[in-house]
Chains A and B, each alone.
Chain A
């Protein structure tokens, strides 16, 4: 491993840490300046019978009467020490809350991702090799269709048809195999659209290349041509798309979890937003930022190692850049 790469890697790592910290601070500030004060709101409920003096004491006991910068510093130093505090809403430790819901979301997100990849590959294959009269052109419309049908509509249709009509799964057991399967389909469909778009564009590009024509001339079968020659160069940008769809997976899981009655990060965020449960929101947003930054970091670090065309140009941004596109400052493959 060369010196420039290590320097590049170190710079990227520092950048990543800075992004995580900024995400933390940003969330804190945004939630703090939002109108509405859920704590005093609860305390002032006349049913609770707190006097103004008692409310002041409680707020002081939680350090909420301190200037916002002091609160931020306290919160940040606890976060850096790994202490996520107690949920304001339920009084339970934030780490427990997250640990309870994380596995369900991980299962859903990874199966949805698998569904999306499979679906995207199938559609992309169809657009290249399906005879025109069997709707090759129609397939090209699928990604836009998938993107335009709301996630929850797909979910509700799946539940009514496969859950209630056919009885394949029960809404009261949302973590069963079939319930997870259909939830993954509902979440995977819109995500497959983006991957399919990129894949189709690249396949179009690659199959117009000389090597593809040569392979065809040698009488190579359609599937072998697709699987052995076209898919590899066409899927490199898909690596970048994976990092981008991560946000989509998180956002989509909120809706899918609600529709399918699953308890996960999405439903935790929803409850926490509606009650302005700052410690939980803070933790979840930071967690999302960490995952997001890590995946992007890995993609950036792996890219120059995988693709020999990518050179590390020592510009101010230290982004991996292909030799023939140094002006853009980004890997050429990202913009197919």
Chain B
């Protein structure tokens, strides 16, 4: 059974072959033989172990799906309505096709037939409506959160027939379809959704429709997934739709980073997550596979509190933009796997445009801007104005291992133009409380956030529609509000893309956001025996298409 065909071709011939293979597989299974190879000619079977540094805090699907750890498991246990690849390209998955009206306020989703959750219930229109409703609203009194970044403009979803869902929005929501491929938008069995929070928190009681099901798990220890033999509805974009090849995937928690890597090196495990960036070069040289996929979203950078002196001064912000040497950050802290920021959104996001000129390192320009703004250098090289020193406090992001090293480098760089930089490192809880949501006394806070659709950006920058108001501008910046409203109201990408370009130019020119580097938050080290994994738009590795050799 070594039939090969082009991935992505979805011809009748392929379906026939696939059907024949499924039948043959069923027969060999009945005969007690285990087929060595699949329809793609790939090796069937095998078990892998993935060493991870945390498994997050809870398994309530809504609450945990935005964590950067549980996404690995959800990606195998559940499916999504659409698939979004690493370049932000949207393609069918559980939704075979969709239509939208001209002003992007109504969408009709047509679902694949015959899809079931692992508890046996059908993934039909009613199930999709139940999911959309809980993604939007959660069940707050029970502590079940809404899904972050799910469009707040959601009005309602209704079933037209068993495989058709109509979704309506109160305002144009062009980003709706891509958002269905976000890691939070996981399809969960309605039976699971109906359970109280305490039951949903038990991973073994949660049913998805994914290629793997939870075999066993222990909190803070491991999650073992085994493959679902009747799975036949994978995303065509990954070139395979039948059952997974690997028999099982075990996610094992090992908190010590050197042990995770050493275990892969000694052949005790197959993948180590979150090694330190500095180790990657030697691992690559030793023949291990390293992966540094970028997710779709914001780059790693600083959001500036424009209410706080002296950052209410445009020239000071622009000087900050010009005084940071981004190339040096990559050369010193990272490896060539990291890319220079070209905007405040990652360069692989559809709609992202190149604004490298606005982010060029220019010491002279920074000095000149600060001189103009009235900040005068003293004999020690520190600038001050009206008896106050030019200072900046950076709060190192405890979620990002390299954050402090970058902050230290930035402190040196800014020191050259006369800035006095303080660095504060807090634990996760304190950081969240004092810094994360831009406390009033925080001049600049580090932000990185994944998203699928660039339309999300506009709603975050100001406080309109309960937005996150990153720069503490409220509704005060007319140009920004104008762009925000136009982007939100755009009915098509053709209208929206030029507006997004203007928005990027504006935010960078104003020095509202100070990009550092494009973000790689998920780093993988993998045994060369394991092949064929796929990284999606949020940089999670999927082993659905992977195989392992002895």
Cβ contact within 8 Å between A171 and B57: no
The answer to whether A45 has its CB under 8 Å from any CB of chain B is: yes
Cβ contact within 8 Å between A164 and B429: no
Contacting residues of chain B (50-69) with chain A, CB-CB under 8 angstroms = 51, 57-60, 66
Cβ contact within 8 Å between A47 and B428: no
Q: Mark A94-106, 1 if CB is under 8 A from B, else 0.
A: 0001001100000
Give the contacting residue for A41; candidates B60, B66, B432; CB below 8 A.
B432
Give the contacting residue for A92; candidates B141, B201, B252; CB below 8 A.
B201
Residues of B within 8 A of A100 (CB): 218-219
A263 to B220, CA, bound (A): 7
- Since A46-B468, A48-B138, A101-B220 are in contact, a sample of 13 more A-B pairs with Cβ atoms closer than 8 Å, ordered by chain A residue number, is A35-B433, A36-B430, A41-B429, A41-B432, A45-B148, A47-B66, A49-B148, A50-B140, A90-B201, A92-B58, A100-B218, A163-B266, A261-B259
Given the known interface contacts A91-B197, A261-B252, A267-B220, the answer about A48 and B143 at a Cβ–Cβ threshold of 8 Å is no
Stretch of A112-120, A188-196, A268-276 that contacts chain B = A268-276
A38 to B429, CA, bound (A): 7
Residues of A within 8 A of B250 (CB): 172
The answer to whether B221 has its CB under 8 Å from any CB of chain A is: yes
Q: Mark A26-70, 1 if CB is under 8 A from B, else 0.
A: 000000000111100100111111110010011001000000000
Cβ contact within 8 Å between A259 and B256: yes
Nearest Cβ in chain A — how far from B52, in angstroms?
11
Cβ contact within 8 Å between B252 and A275: no
Given the known interface contacts A44-B437, A276-B429, the answer about A172 and B255 at a Cβ–Cβ threshold of 8 Å is no
Contacting residues of chain B (136-194) with chain A, CB-CB under 8 angstroms = 138, 140-141, 143, 145-146, 148-149, 152
Nearest Cβ in chain A — how far from B258, in angstroms?
8
Cβ contact within 8 Å between B433 and A172: no
Cβ contact within 8 Å between A160 and B263: no
Contacting residues of chain A (146-171) with chain B, CB-CB under 8 angstroms = 156, 159-160, 163-165, 167, 170-171
A92 to B221, CA, bound (A): 15
The answer to whether A93 has its CB under 8 Å from any CB of chain B is: yes
Q: Please list the residues of chain B having a beta carbon within 8 angstroms of any beta carbon in chain A.
A: 49, 51, 57-60, 66, 138, 140-141, 143, 145-146, 148-149, 152, 197-198, 200-202, 218-221, 250, 252-256, 258-259, 262-263, 265-266, 268-269, 427-430, 432-433, 436-437, 449, 466, 468
A274 to B255, CA, bound (A): 14
Given the known interface contacts A86-B198, A171-B259, A263-B218, the answer about A275 and B140 at a Cβ–Cβ threshold of 8 Å is no
Residues of A within 8 A of B437 (CB): 44-46
The answer to whether A235 has its CB under 8 Å from any CB of chain B is: no
Nearest Cβ in chain A — how far from B201, in angstroms?
4
Give the contacting residue for B433; candidates A41, A50, A61; CB below 8 A.
A41
Given the known interface contacts A167-B266, A263-B221, the answer about A89 and B433 at a Cβ–Cβ threshold of 8 Å is no
The answer to whether A332 has its CB under 8 Å from any CB of chain B is: no
Given the known interface contacts A91-B201, A97-B219, A274-B428, the answer about A258 and B51 at a Cβ–Cβ threshold of 8 Å is no
Cβ contact within 8 Å between B220 and A49: no
Residues of B within 8 A of A91 (CB): 58, 60, 143, 197-198, 200-201
Q: List 9 A-B contacts (CB under 8 A).
A: A35-B433, A91-B60, A92-B58, A156-B258, A172-B254, A259-B256, A263-B221, A271-B57, A274-B428
Q: What is the chain B residue whose CB lies nearest that of A159?
A: B259
Cβ contact within 8 Å between A172 and B143: no
Cβ contact within 8 Å between A271 and B220: yes
Q: What is the chain A residue whose CB lies nearest that of B468?
A: A46
Nearest Cβ in chain A — how far from B389, in angstroms?
28
A268 to B141, CA, bound (A): 27
Q: Mark A212-256, 1 if CB is under 8 A from B, else 0.
A: 000000000000000000000000000000000000000000000
